[in-house]
Amino acid sequence: MPPTILHIDMDAFFASVEQRVNPALRGKPIAVCGANARTVVLTASYEARAYGVKTGMTLPEARGLCPGLIVVPSDHERYTDVSRRLLTIYQDYTPLVEVFSVDEAFLDITGSLTLFGGGEAIASAVKHRIRREMQLTASVGIAPNKILAKLGSGLKKPDGLVRIEPQDVPMLLEDLPVKELCGIGPNLERALADMDIRTCGQMGRTPVERLIGRFGIIGHSLKAMGRGQDDRPVVPTGEEPEAKSIGHSMTLARDVRRPDEIEHPLIELSEMVGRRARRNRYGGNVVTLTLRYADFQTFSRQRRLQSFLNDGMEIYLAARRILGTVRLEQAVRLIGVSLSGLIPDTGQLPLFETDQRRNRLLATMDGINDRYGEWTVRWGTLIAGHPHKAVISPAWRPKGVREYH
């Protein structure tokens, strides 16, 4: 039997969750933004979208288009909690649920079709339960593979249900711009345009050798994508390969020029990374610092360390040494810290009593923060600032190393 895949995409997820919680926001143009005033619009409600407000706009840009815009700071604990509850709904229909991001999931329902009476029946049932139990709407795509299911969920938003049959595929893709396909970002789009490939139809007809010559091994996938083919399985959440890195980033309250002004957020991010590594019993030996300049130019530098570590302090020391090697050419807008080269905790004991005490201290702090919430106990240096609420990364998963709240 050919596979049947659902892609469920929550409509204006963060904004809808906020409108559900606060009735005063319903029917109004709202934009959910990061906790600090300088972040960009994360999600706009459909009322705001009518004015042209889009994800990624800065607040002044959004307000320029929609003067009555209500700005709501994001509350990630709330969204990840809703996301976890959605997962339990999906899992009532199939065990093969891949959480793709906080507001998207793939369901392989091939095996449950007869049980629930077909693809549309399952999609309608899921949509109905999301509406009844969560007071939210979702758009669903039904297709023989992931790439088409994802395409389908985006065709009739909001509250859509689109089935893509194999025979519809050539017509659907013929004039579809390549950027509409999941996995083709702006860089790839530009590179394809340089080869005169703008639509999926063109990409599917391009000889595979040409694509491989330009893009290497992914040439095969690009050709297949252009023809609406995709054999990637739905990987149930919890069975995905182990994380390669643990990282956090934040947009600063204002652009800063002096390296010492970056210190405080650097400590904060390093602490968050260390905390998450310890929570999942990982240690890493590569620390990466990412900086984004005021003009959005972004770059990373990394440092390989001798031993595997997960103490925020040591991550910070490494990140600061990297910062010391960078000559800032512009004011910095965003910084990110990540730990990679991850291995499960080695069990190596430290030689020095001070390090042993330090490990006990961290375990105690982690225990308190597990119980009473993040930042309940924190280093004195971090008391002055407003502890940062993490932005949910696209790689968010309901459990495991990617989880953060």
The token pair at 18 is 């906020």
374 in catalytic set = no
Contact residues toward another protein (CB under 8 A) are 303-309, 314-315, 317-318, 321, 325, 343-344, 346-355
For another protein, give the closer residue by CB, 196 or 353.
353
CB of 318 to another protein, least distance (A): 5
For another protein, give the closer residue by CB, 114 or 354.
354
CB atoms within 10 A of CB 299: 10
Task: Tell whether omega for the bond before 350 is within 30 degrees of 0, i.e. cis.
Answer: no
The SS3 assignment for 196 reads coil
CB of 236 to another protein, least distance (A): 20
CB of 340 to another protein, least distance (A): 13
For another protein, give the closer residue by CB, 114 or 325.
325
Nearest partner of 162 among 170, 150, 171, 153, judged by Cα: 153
Catalytic residue (one of 98, 104, 268, 271) = 104
For another protein, give the closer residue by CB, 34 or 312.
312
Instruction: Give the chain's largest Cα–Cα span.
Output: 70
Residue listed under structure tokens 């109905």 = 128
- Burial pattern 343-380, b for ≥16 Cβ within 10 A else e, equals eeeeeeeeeeeeeeeeeeebeebeeebeeeebbeebee
Task: Please report which helix (H) or strand (E) contains residue 108, including its range.
Answer: strand 104-108
For another protein, give the closer residue by CB, 167 or 348.
348
CA distance 232 to 143: 13
CB of 244 to another protein, least distance (A): 14
Where do the H-state alpha helices sit in 195-345?
200-205, 208-215, 218-226, 259-279, 312-324
CB of 383 to another protein, least distance (A): 24
Q: What is the DSSP string of 119-182?
A: HHHHHHHHHHHHHHHHS--EEEEEESSHHHHHHHHTTS-SS-EEE--GGGHHHHHHT-BGGGST
CB of 305 to another protein, least distance (A): 6
The SS3 assignment for 261 reads helix
For another protein, give the closer residue by CB, 101 or 340.
340
| Residues labelled as active-site residues | 104
